[in-house]
Chain A
Amino acid sequence: MRNLKRILILLIVGLTVGAASFTRATLSAAVVKVPDPTKVVMIVDRDSNDIAFMDIASKKIVGRTFLGNNVNPHMVMMSPDGRYVVTGGTRANKAYIIDAKTLELVKVIPVDIAPEHLAFSPDSRWYYQGNPEGDSISVIDMLSLTKIKSIPGLVEPLNTVFLPDGSKAYVGNYGAHWVGVIDVRRHELLKKIQVADVPGVAKLDPDKYLGEIKGINIPQITNDGRYLYATDTDLGVVAKIDPREDKVDKIIRVGKEPWRPYMSHDGKYLITPNNGDQTISIVDLRTDKVAATLEAGENMTGVNFAAGKAFVISSTSGFVYVYDMNSLRPAGRMKIGTNIQLETATTDTKDEKLYLADSTENAVVVIDAKTQQFEKIMNVGLYPWGTHIMDSKDNYCH
C-alpha cells in the first residue's frame, strides 16, 4: 500500500511538471500587438516602405511593419482567416508576409516584375500576387509560405477575384480586352473571355486603340457569386460574365473610360466612375441597365458605400462626391483639401466610416458617412496609397 501511494505521488508530480512545462511553452509566444485583426485599419505607405496599423477605436497607430528600403508596397490585404497581412513591393519585386498579430515580417518571397494588386482564395490557402509588368501572377502557398508557381500568359494583370467556392479565379487584364480564367486546382490559365468587340471606328483612329490599351481592371463578383461584371476602359462597356459557362451574358454601355465596377453592399447596383467624361454610371443589377448617369469629378480612383450613400473619390481635385443610393441623385460634395491627392478608401464593417488615404498630406481621412464630416489623422506614414479593413466590403486598390 505504501508503494502504491509512492507511485501515485510520483505520477501526480510528473504530470504537474509536464503540464507546467507545456503551459510555459504556450505562454512564450511573441508579443501580440493586434489581438483582434478586425479592429485595425491597415495603411500601405509607399514612400516610407511600411504597413501601418491604426486602431479603429482610438485612431492611433498601434504598430508599423518596416519592409525595407526601396520596397514601395502597393496594396495591403489580410488573409480571410486573419492570420497574415501581405503586400507586394512594386520596386523590390517581392511579396511580403506579415504575422497579423505580432506584426512581424515573417517572410519575403521573390515574385515577378512590379507586383501590385493581390487576392486570397476564400480558404486563405492561396495568395495570388499580380505582376502587371511581368504579365504574370505569382502563386504563393500560405501553408508553406513559398511561391509554388507563376502563371504566365496574362497581359498586365491588374486584379484577381476568386469565386466563393475557390474553384476558379478571374483576372482583369488591363493591357487587353479579355478576362483570364484561372483553374485554381492547377493554377493554370483556363480560358480567355473577350468582353466586347473593338468598334469599327478603330480603323480610322488607330492611335486610340493601338497606341495604349486601357482594358480590364477587375472582374467584380456579385454578392451571391452568381455573376461577374468587368469594365473595359477603352470600349466604355461593362460585361456581365456567367462563371458557370464562362461566357459573356450581356454587354452594358456606360460612360466614357469607365475605371472599374464597384458593387453596392446591398447588391442592387454597381457604379462605374467614368474618367473620360467625368460622370458615374449607376447600373441596376436587376435589369442590367444603366439606372442613372450623374456628374462627378476628375481622375476618380474609387467608390465606397456607407449609410445608404456612395462616396466617389476624385483624386486630383481633392473632392469626394456623394450620391444617395435610394434616390440615385447627387447628395453633395466634400472638399477634403486643396492641392492634395487622394487615393483609395476602405469602409468599416458597420458601414459607418470611411478611411481614405490622403497621400500628399501623409494622412488618413476618416469620413463619417452619415454626417459627411471628416477628420484627418496625420503622420500615418509617407505617401499612404491605400487602406484595408478585414471583412470590409470596400477593400480595393488602384
Chain B
Amino acid sequence: MVRCRLAAVIAMLLLTASFAAAQNSTVSGRVANAQGGVIANAEATLRALPPPGTPPMPNMPNMPNMPAAMERTATAGADGAFTFANVAAGDYVLYVDASGFERSSQTVTVGNQAQNLTITLTPLIVPGAEEGAAAAAGVADTQLLLDRIKQLEARITDLESEAVLSEPETRVKRIEVYVDQNNNIHDQPVEGAKQQVTYQRERVYRRQTINEKIEEALAAAEDQAVKIGVDATTVAQGAGRTTGVGPNKKAYALASADLFFAAKLAQYTSFFADVVALSGAAPDREIPSLTLLNGYTARLINQNELNLREAWLRTEFFGQRLGITAGRLDLTNYFDRNAFANDETTQFISDALVNNQMLGLAVNGTGVVADYDPKNAFNFKVGFQQSNPDATSLSDSIYSLAEVGYTATPFSLPEGHYRLWYRNNNGSVDSKHAVGVSLDQKLSPFVGVFGRYGQQQIPGDWDRYWSTGLSFAKAMVFNPLDTWGIGYAQMDLAAGDKEHLTEGYYNFQLTERLRLSFMLQHVLDRQNDKFGYLLPGLRLQAAF
C-alpha cells in the first residue's frame, strides 16, 4: 500500500513537471570576450517584451502608463554561464552587462525548446576615463592591448574621413574669489578674506569648423568697431492742380543721404550719430499746404550741406529697464512711435501721416530722454529738448514731452499699442501746451488700423489735428515682404485754416537693402484761398 502511494506521488510530480515543461523553457548562455575568453560575474537580464498590439507611448503625456515589464536577472558564474529556468513562451530582450564591456542586447523568442546562447562582449573604451575599464574587469593585458589597438585604428579612420579644425578654445571667464591679507586666493570664503571679482582664462575643447572660428572672429571685431550705416533716398513727385490757383503740372525731386555711426562704449552704453545731407526741390516750396507734402523736407536746412542731426549717448540702468539718452537729438523721434505711420522712408511720405502735427518742434537740439520699459503692458517716457537754437539759455527754450504707452489685445484682436502724450514748450511760441493720443491696432494678422488725435492750445482757442488709415502687410501684396497703406489726415486750425490730405502708397521690398515705393497724394486746403493738388510720386530707398 505504501509503495502504491509512493508511486502515485512520483507519478503526479512527473506529470506536473512534464506539463510545466510543455509551457515553459530554459534560456541559458555563456559570456565570453571576442577571443573566446570567459567573462565571469556578468549580469544577464531577461525582459519580457509587450505583446503585439500594446499601445505605444508608455509613460508619454496623455497616455496611460504601461505596467512595468517583467524582468529577471542572473549572474554568470566563474565559467561565464548563466541560466533562466521556467521562462514562459514569448518574446524577450536578453541583455548582458559586465564591468568594462559594452552591453550586449538581443531579442530572444522563447518556445518549447531550451536555448543556449553565446554572448560575446566588446570592451568599452572611454578615452580620458581614469582607469582602463576592461583592465579592471580582469582581461589579459595582451588582449586589452589588442582591443585598444583595434579601437584606435577605428578612431584614426574616423578622424581621417571626418576631421575638422578643432583647436582648443580659450575663453575668459568672470569668477568670484576670496583674497586674504597675503593676497592668497581661495575659492571658498575664508576668515579675513574679501570677496573679489577677477578674470581667468579657461581652455576647453569643442568641435569647431574653420567657418565657425571665422564667424566668431568677425563678430568680435564687429562688436568693437564703429558701425556705419547709410540710408540714401530719392523722392520724385509731380503736382497737378485740381482746384484753385497756383503752380500746376510741376515736377519735384529731393535726394537725401543719411550717414549713421554707432559704437559700443561700455556695458549697456552706446553712441550714435546721424549726419544728413539733402539737395533738390520738394513741392513744399511751391505749394503752401499746412503740412509738409514730403516728410524729408523737415530735414532740409541748406542745400548740399552736411548737417549733424543727432549725436547722443545712451545708457541703461536697473536691469536695462530704464534707458537714458542724452545729446543732440530730435525728441519727437522717441514719442508717438506709431507702428503703421511713423516712417517717411518706407511708409507714408506726407508728414501729416508720419507725425502728429500737434507735437510741434521742427529743429533738433540738446536734450535728454528717459524711457522706462519693464516689458509688461505699460511703458513710460519723459524727455526735454532745447527748442530754439538761437535761445541764449535752456530755461527760455525748453520743449518737453511725456508719454504713457500700453500694449493691449482687445476683443480677441491681435496686439495694439495705445499712447497718451503731453507736450509743453516754454519758448517763444504761440502754443505752450498740447495733448494727444495715438494708436496702432492690428485688425488681423495682415491689416492694421492707426489713428492719431492731437490738440494744442493757442491764445484763446485750440488747434486740432487727426489722422487715420489702414496698413497692409503679408497679404494682398505682390511679394511677401511688401507693404501698402492708405491714410487720411485733417488739420483744423483755430484761425480758420483747414487741410484735408489723403495718401496711398505701395512699398516693394526688392531686396533686404533696396525698396521702391509708389505714392499718390491729394491735398485740399482751405486757407485764404482754396486749392487742391494731386501728387503722384516715386521713392527709391537704399539702406545698408
Contact = CB atoms under 8 A, between A and B. Distances in A.
A360 to B, nearest CB: 7
A124 B58 contact: yes
A80 B58 contact: yes
Interface stretch (B123-131, B340-348, B497-505, B529-537): B123-131
A227 B376 CA distance: 33
Contacts of A28: 43, 73, 75
A68 B62 contact: no
Contacts of B475: 253
A391 B60 contact: yes
B97 interface: yes
B38 interface: no
Contacts of A24: 75
Interface string A201-213: 1001100100000
A3 B57 CA distance: 57
Contact of A107 (B103, B267, B321): B103
A57 interface: no
A333 B375 contact: yes
**For chain A, what secondary structure do more than half of its interface residues adopt (helix, strand, loop), or is it mixed?**
loop
Interface stretch (B24-32, B202-210, B393-401, B449-457): B202-210
A253 B474 contact: yes
Interface stretch (A153-161, A174-182, A285-293): A285-293
Contacts of A383: 204, 206
Interface string B3-33: 0011001100100000000000000000000
A47 B171 CA distance: 12
A106 B73 contact: no
Interface in A108-166: 108, 110, 113-114, 121-124, 143-145, 164-166
A108 B43 contact: no
A166 B103 contact: no
A289 B49 CA distance: 44
A104 B126 CA distance: 12
B204 A143 contact: no
B97 A360 contact: no
Contacts of A205: 510-512
Interface in B76-125: 93, 95, 97, 102-107, 124-125
22 contacts: A4-B2, A4-B9, A26-B73, A49-B128, A68-B128, A97-B103, A110-B158, A122-B56, A145-B104, A199-B481, A201-B479, A201-B481, A253-B445, A292-B414, A293-B442, A321-B375, A328-B409, A329-B409, A333-B374, A333-B375, A383-B204, A383-B206
Given A7-B10, A38-B59, 7 more contacts: A69-B127, A70-B166, A107-B124, A144-B107, A199-B481, A235-B480, A290-B445
Interface of B: 2, 5-6, 9-10, 13, 43, 49, 56-62, 66, 72-75, 93, 95, 97, 102-107, 124-129, 154, 158, 162, 166, 171, 173-174, 204-207, 267, 319-321, 374-377, 407-409, 414-415, 442, 444-445, 474-475, 479-481, 509-512, 514
